[in-house]
Amino acid sequence: MLADHILFIDAEAMVIDKPAGLPVGAVRDGSISLENHLDSLRFGFQRWPSAVHRLDRDTSGCLLLARNPKAHKRFAAAFEAGTVRKEYLAVVDGVPDGEEGVIDLPLAKVSSREAGWRMIGDAKGKRALTRWRRLASADGRSLIAFAPETGRTHQIRVHAASGLGLPIVGDPVYGAARAGSGRPGAGRAAMLLHAWRLAVPRAGKPAIEAEAPLPASFAAAGFGDVPA
């Protein structure tokens, strides 16, 4: 139950540790989504909480929910203004050159009838900036912390694959797993991308801060802990 995945809660906000494989929005295939769990996340309130932002279906970790419409509007404005701090962890195929850096690669959406849609690096696309640092490497893979300064669709996934040159392990679209299909556990490995930390400033109140523990899939890949 998602009620057991609460990382932060007060009268206007909640941060949950979203499991990989759970869509935030309703999906065409009829799979269970976040919406099916919202009633269990009311905790005495009449209204269901609402997701302020999105995480990809296969991405785990910190997801902010607002517990009333006014709070939702304020939090959405904070995301739009770029004042929300987000940090992700990912296991990538390979070891990067250097210990840290900045990926400045504009992104654009492309689509075709055969392959569907995806994001690509495109000088004419929307600005996208991601800071990264290597935390550990083992067996030809690396644990990378990504801090996006913009919020483009699939930004970290494309920046890892095309900007850093090292795709995220298990990525079905931009990585070596792209030939597979289905959800994690349904014939392919989980995508190792995790929304690790989230901090949302609030006027007159302490910031919303949450940190989601690494899922078991990271430990199975040899990265069970985040180096200090």
Quick check: is 220 in a domain? Answer: no
Quick check: is 87 in a domain? Answer: yes
CA dist 160 and 32 (Å) reads 29
Is the pLDDT confidence value at 127 over 80? Answer: yes
CATH number at residue 38: 3.30.2350.10
Is the pLDDT confidence value at 142 over 90? Answer: yes
Quick check: is 14 in a domain? Answer: yes
Is the pLDDT confidence value at 85 over 50? Answer: yes
Of 4, 17, 56, 225, catalytic: 56
Quick check: is 13 in a domain? Answer: yes
Share of the chain above pLDDT 70, in %: 95
Q: What is the three-class DSSP state of 196?
A: strand
pTM of the model: 0.91
- CA angle 121–126–129, rounded 5-degree value: 75
Quick check: is 222 in a domain? Answer: no
- CA angle 109–32–214, rounded 5-degree value: 75
> Number of structural domains, the chain?
1
Active-site annotation holds for 56: yes
Q: What is the mean pLDDT of residues 81-95?
A: 97
Instruction: Check residue 187 and give its pLDDT.
Output: 47
Q: Which domain holds residue 130?
A: 2-215
What one-character DSSP code corresponds to residue 226?
A: -
Instruction: Check residue 177 and give its pLDDT.
Output: 52
Quick check: is 159 in a domain? Answer: yes
Instruction: Check residue 68 and give its pLDDT.
Output: 97
DSSP of 2-66? GGG-EEEE-SSEEEEEEPTT--SS--TT----GGGGGGGG-TT-SSPPEESS---TT-EEEEEEE
Q: What is the mean pLDDT of residues 75-98?
A: 97
Instruction: Check residue 180 and give its pLDDT.
Output: 39
The string of pLDDT tens digits covering residues 170-214 is 999 999 754 334 444 444 578 999 999 999 999 999 999 999 999
